[in-house]
Amino acid sequence: MSETLIRQLVSQRPCGLLTDIDGTISPIATTPDAAQVSAAAREALRRLAQQLELVAVISGRAAADAAALVGLPELIYIGNHGLELAQAGVVQPVPDAVAYIPVIDEVLRSAQERIALTGILFENKGVTASVHYRMAEQPAQAQLLIGAILHELSAQHGLVLTPGRMVWELRPPLAIDKGTAARRLVTAYALRSVIFVGDDRTDTDAFRALRELRAQGVCAALNVGVAGSETP
């Protein structure tokens, strides 16, 4: 990736930077609570927020959690894969997703009762939930067992189940993801250029959306994939 290319893209204003957190600006941690954003990364984002029309975080974390981890109130935070927006300390979930909060809670409780494995972390994020198996004694087997149980429960309750990096995600059956979130931001801020940084399967939705916007002539777009040992 050449500096000239980036300068050419950023010169097309308004310009936005969209980034994931885990595996991009924060190294993958054993548990979500153990993740950290370095002081250098935080300072870089702070400076970019002063120079660009938009700097936003698009994460699978709950929006409030993402905002607390990054620690920059001037940024926009899209949480739960597009189902929440946090701005200036106020979290706004997508209205259609709110009705699924008790469903998510019920399914997660049922999963906890049925999954008798050590090292499994159940994370209720309100409008979504995650079941992490990174700390399982045998992660590959845990993935299959947990996936089978969650497939059954999600089908029974009308939820969508998606895989991630050592995690299964439970979501409402809404046509909302990181791609639709990226599209909304491009439209809301009338962006003429945008850079998206991601590393996981769910980030490919944003990669795909921005490629389509670029092909349609809506904006210039650069997708940056952060490669790691667990990158799909």
55 phi, psi to nearest 5 deg = -130, 120
Exposure string over 3-37, b if 16+ CB within 10 A, otherwise e? eeeeeebbeeeebbbbbbbbbbbbebeeebeebeb
Given 20, 22, 200, 205, which residue is catalytic?
Answer: 20
* Of 66, 63, 69, the residue nearest 85 (C-alpha): 63
| Contact in structure between 197 and 18 (CB atoms under 8 Å) | yes
Q: Is 33 a catalytic residue?
A: no
For the chain, the C-alpha Rg in angstroms (whole number) is 18
Distance of CA 153 to the CA centre of its chain: 23
Q: Give the integer Cα–Cα distance in Å for 195 and 169.
A: 25
Which residues are part of the catalytic machinery?
20
